[in-house]
Amino acid sequence: MNYFKIDIQRLFTNKMVLTLIVVLLCISIIDPITVFRHFSKFPESANTIGQNPFQFWMLMNSVSWGNSLYNNMFWIITVILTGLIYYEDKSTSMYMYQIIRKGKTQYLVSKFLSTGLFSFFIVFLILEINIFMTYTIFSDTNNITDYYGRLTPHEGSFVYKAFTENPINAVHIYTILNAFVISLFAIFSLCISMLLNFSNRYVTLLLPVILLYGIHFIFDSYPVLFDYNIRMILQPRAVSALTNIISWNDVFISLGGWLLVNLLLMCTIFYKLRDSYE
């Protein structure tokens, strides 16, 4: 029995996960279309602002409804992508059946790997579809307007070199970062559900969201932490709008911190469940 393969199949067929994927796909495809339709009605505005695709991909275009919806849904996305598979196992006989058959270690490793990899590739694919749609609809890369200039990353920021080589390189960096961070938070959410083991489905769904939002609120509240605020790092406008220079060092410290948190949580889970079959 290949637990990893089974877990991936369960995530792909989970109604909650499928609904989320459909919603995110619709946002990524429809958002650039609606932006283009808006400018088709106001050609003067289009000439002033420009029609460079770098300005209008979903993560960059902070005034679009797609960007707002994605950012408002961000924390809940990380929990839904777990599919609450562990909760369902614990609520039925599946948990006991699987750990007796092949042991806790294989069961837990499969859950962590499947959740992390599934979350990463789903989000990466959806964001890349948005980039493809945006760069297909907006194809004027020659007209550089003042508005475009205000989106240029500050020199010394972590995407500055990639941007100067080709703006699309910076776009792909943000796609990878968003997908990776969501996979980290999905694993974090899974760990919280394993450690606290709530019997209520809605508490299992909402508690990780509340915890993540609370941590984000702390980082938002102290300017000294801005450079390490993972949500700030994930937003392309931050490297051009903020006076702080977010460097690769800041990115690695932030990602490393969350990797360490997940590692500690996973170690705690392995230790807590080492002799337990409950």
pLDDT tens for each residue of 122-151? 999 999 999 999 999 987 777 778 888 888
How many whole angstroms separate alpha carbon 237 and alpha carbon 233?
9
Query: CA angle, corner 150, sides to 229 and 125, nearest 5?
Result: 55
Q: In the structure, what pLDDT confidence band is assigned to residue 99 with cuts at 50, 70 and 90?
A: low
Dump pLDDT digits (tens) for 17-36: 999 999 999 999 999 999 88
DSSP label of 55: G
For the entire predicted model, the pTM comes to 0.91
Closest to 79 (Cα-Cα) out of 198, 214, 185: 185
Dump pLDDT digits (tens) for 172-223: 999 999 999 999 999 999 999 988 888 888 888 899 999 999 998 998 888 8
Residue 176's identity, in one-letter code, is: I
pLDDT at 81: 95
The residue with greater pLDDT, 228 or 38, is: 228
Q: What is the DSSP string of 76-92?
A: HHHHHTTTTHHHHHHHS
165: phi > 0 → left, psi -120 to 50 → alpha, else beta; which? alpha
The residue with greater pLDDT, 163 or 103, is: 163
Asked if 65 and 31 count as a contact pair (C-beta separation under 8 A), the reply is yes
Q: In the structure, what pLDDT confidence band is assigned to residue 95 with cuts at 50, 70 and 90?
A: low
* Poorest-pLDDT segment among 33-37, 63-67, 224-228: 224-228
Dump pLDDT digits (tens) for 238-250: 888 888 889 999 9
How many whole angstroms separate alpha carbon 167 and alpha carbon 176?
15
Q: Where are the alpha helices (DSSP H) in 42-166?
A: 43-49, 65-80, 85-91, 94-102, 104-137, 146-149, 160-165
* The token pair that represents 245 in the structure block: 């220079």
Mean pLDDT within 225-231:
86
* The token pair that represents 79 in the structure block: 């929990």
